[in-house]
Structure 1
Amino acid sequence: MNKFLDTLAGKLAERWLALLVLPGALYVAVAIAAIRLSHVRWYRVDLLRHDLARLASEPAARSPGTIALALAGLLAAAAVAGILNQSLGSLFRGLWFASSRGPLTRALTRRRARRWDTAEQRFREVIVAAGEAQLAGEPGTAGLIRRAEELAAARNAIGLVRPTRPFAAGDRMAAADRRVLDRYALDLTSAWPRLWLALPDTTRSALQVAHGAVAAAQRLAGWAIAYLLLTVVWWPAVLIAVVCLVVAWRRAASAAGTLADLVEAAVDLHGRALARSLGVRSPGPLDRQTGAEITALLRKGT
């Protein structure tokens, strides 16, 4: 038991250090530099070198107590910054996975839907042309098929189904729910907590890693807002904020796509195990009849 507790404490400390302290310490250092330089002296990096040299020459800098106190203060400030970042990041998680409720989000959803409709129409036109060329024995059918594949990839890059959410991350997760419902008549919202209990450890681990990637993008977006606040005293901080936000936005869309793929895979591979666990007969692979029975059972008449 002692060995287990030591291992657990080590993992928690490592996670605390990686998620809160190190990014927080970097932010505190940038914040101190921003306050020192301000808008007027934004490019005077030599002032920071001068300040560090002056502090290093102070007698107090050679005192172990002073060093320990300064280090403790830095760690505390870094931890506080990391905790505040969690709150800022949660705002982006709500934004990325938001539904179309307000005027702005509905407008963004309509824009994504129009792009998807255009891509779908182009794909269908090329598919029809390829089919007609093949039936007529005309040359160039292979080229039309390749073009159709390219157009299908472009459409799927917008959404695997017609978009219903304003942003790519939320739309991809919503698409997973829609695809599972269309294929298996299974309400994923109701089934997921039960399916999670029936999943093997390897599948759970893969899902947790994918979810962790979404959380990492969320934290990075939170740091973008934190750095944006520093522009009040030091305008170059906006460059850091923009880079963090763009990278976080792209990572969120990619991570959400991976997570949605794994969720669908979990249903494909273990949906039958869920049916057996609930006492629903499933003689073959999961199908719409079995999925509809599971949905009716789990919704409990609602």
Structure 2
Amino acid sequence: MGGLLGELGKKLAERWLSLLVLPGALYLAVVAAARTLGHTHPFDMSRLTGRITAWANAPAAATVGGQVVLLAAVLAGAAAIGLVAQALGSLAERLHLAADWRTWPTWGRRLSNRITTRRQDRWRTAAEVWHHRREDAAVALTRSIRTDPADRHAARAAMTRISPEQPDRPTWSGDRIHAAAVRLERDYHLDLAALWPHLWLILPETTRTEITTARQALTRATALTAWALLYLPLALWWWPAAVITATLALISRHRTCTAADTYATLLEAAARLHARDVADHLGLDSTGPLTHESGGALALHVTPSPPPPPEESPAIRQADRASSSPEGR
């Protein structure tokens, strides 16, 4: 038992160090460099090393007690910055995925609706081009003519760059995850949101590990947006911080899109492969491939029934009787 607790403590310490302390310590180092160098000497290493030497020769840093206090202060500050970054990362993830944008404050809903509408218009145009080229290729194939698929593939890529399915959210990453639910509904009448809790409980351990890893990668990718926001105010003192902010934002966007694509692909694949296993556990007839009928039946079984209508209170019943009586009329 002691060995298990020790190993658990070691893993927690490693995660604390890698997720909070190290990025926070790097941020504090950049803050110190920004305050020391400023806009006028952005890359003056001699100025920076001179200031570090002066700090190292300070009386407080010359004693063991002072060094311990200084180290503790740096670790505490780095951990605090890491916690702030994690909180901002949760907000950044919510903005990247935008699953609940219709419940955002009024100004956020209006902006998101405007962006979503514009993306829908662009997607329809690109989808029409792709479908026309598919139809032209099919007509040519009936005449024993094989057309060059490059134009057709380019049209599909142009459509997918906007959204894999008709946009429903203001961001590509959000629409990529939403596309998994749209495809399952269209192909098998499955409600992924209702099916997923039941599916997760029976998935093989290796599959759950893959999905968990992909989900954690998505969280880490969106966390880079939080660090970009934290580095942005430093540009007021040191202009290279703006370059750091832009770089982190671009990396975060690329990694978020990649991680969202991987995560959505795994969600959809797991549902297609194991939906019949859920049907077996529920005692449904799941022989043969999954169809609209079997998928719809499964969706009905995993979707909770709605609450019954509330009973009328005595005061309402009395008011109804009074209004229906001759005196009430």
TM range (shorter): over 0.9
1:241 to 241, 245, 269: 245
**How far did residue 43 of structure 1 move?**
4.0
Identity fraction in percent: 39
Task: Name the SS of the counterpart of 2:113 in structure 1.
Answer: helix
| Separation in structure 2 between the aligned mates of residue 198 and residue 216 of structure 1, nearest angstrom | 27
CA change 1:85–1:119 in 2 (3 A) is same
Gap regions ≥5 residues in structure 2: 103-108, 307-329
**Equivalent residue, structure 2, for 1:292:** 296
Gap regions ≥5 residues in structure 1: none
**Equivalent residue, structure 1, for 2:94:** 94
**How far did residue 229 of structure 1 move?**
2.1
| Separation in structure 1 between the aligned mates of residue 288 and residue 304 of structure 2, nearest angstrom | 25
| Separation in structure 1 between the aligned mates of residue 44 and residue 123 of structure 2, nearest angstrom | 49
| Separation in structure 2 between the aligned mates of residue 230 and residue 58 of structure 1, nearest angstrom | 26
Give, as a single letter, the amino acid of the residue that structure 1 aligns with 2:136.
A
CA change 1:277–1:111 in 2 (3 A) is same
Task: Name the SS of the counterpart of 1:142 in structure 2.
Answer: coil
**Equivalent residue, structure 2, for 1:78:** 78
Task: Name the SS of the counterpart of 2:133 in structure 1.
Answer: helix
* CA offset digits 1:87-142 (Å, max 9, x no partner): 1112211111215542221121122222221221111222222233333345xx33
Tell me whether 251-260 or 268-277 shows the greater mean CA deviation. 268-277
**Equivalent residue, structure 1, for 2:147:** 142
| Separation in structure 2 between the aligned mates of residue 215 and residue 246 of structure 1, nearest angstrom | 16
| Separation in structure 2 between the aligned mates of residue 134 and residue 200 of structure 1, nearest angstrom | 43
1:196 to 191, 194, 200: 200
Task: Name the SS of the counterpart of 2:147 in structure 1.
Answer: helix
**Equivalent residue, structure 1, for 2:24:** 24
* CA offset digits 1:33-84 (Å, max 9, x no partner): 2222334444433221101223334565443332222211111100000000
Please, what is the CA RMSD of the aligned residues? 1.9
| Separation in structure 2 between the aligned mates of residue 293 and residue 122 of structure 1, nearest angstrom | 36
Instruction: Please state if 1:181 is matched with 2:188.
Output: no
**Equivalent residue, structure 2, for 1:131:** 138
| Separation in structure 2 between the aligned mates of residue 199 and residue 114 of structure 1, nearest angstrom | 38
Give, as a single letter, the amino acid of the residue that structure 1 aligns with 2:121.
R
| Separation in structure 1 between the aligned mates of residue 59 and residue 91 of structure 2, nearest angstrom | 45
Instruction: Please state if 1:103 is matched with 2:110.
Output: yes
CA change 1:133–1:291 in 2 (3 A) is closer
**Equivalent residue, structure 1, for 2:215:** 211
| Separation in structure 2 between the aligned mates of residue 137 and residue 265 of structure 1, nearest angstrom | 35
| Separation in structure 2 between the aligned mates of residue 48 and residue 182 of structure 1, nearest angstrom | 61
| Separation in structure 2 between the aligned mates of residue 9 and residue 241 of structure 1, nearest angstrom | 34
How many residues are paired up?
A: 299
TM-score, normalised with respect to structure 1: 0.92
| Separation in structure 1 between the aligned mates of residue 258 and residue 191 of structure 2, nearest angstrom | 24
| Separation in structure 2 between the aligned mates of residue 203 and residue 137 of structure 1, nearest angstrom | 43
Give, as a single letter, the amino acid of the residue that structure 2 aligns with 1:189.
A
TM-score, normalised with respect to structure 2: 0.85
Instruction: Please state if 1:120 is matched with 2:124.
Output: no
Assess if the C-alpha contact under 8 Å between 2:96 and 2:222 holds in 1. Answer: no
1:167 to 171, 180, 186: 171
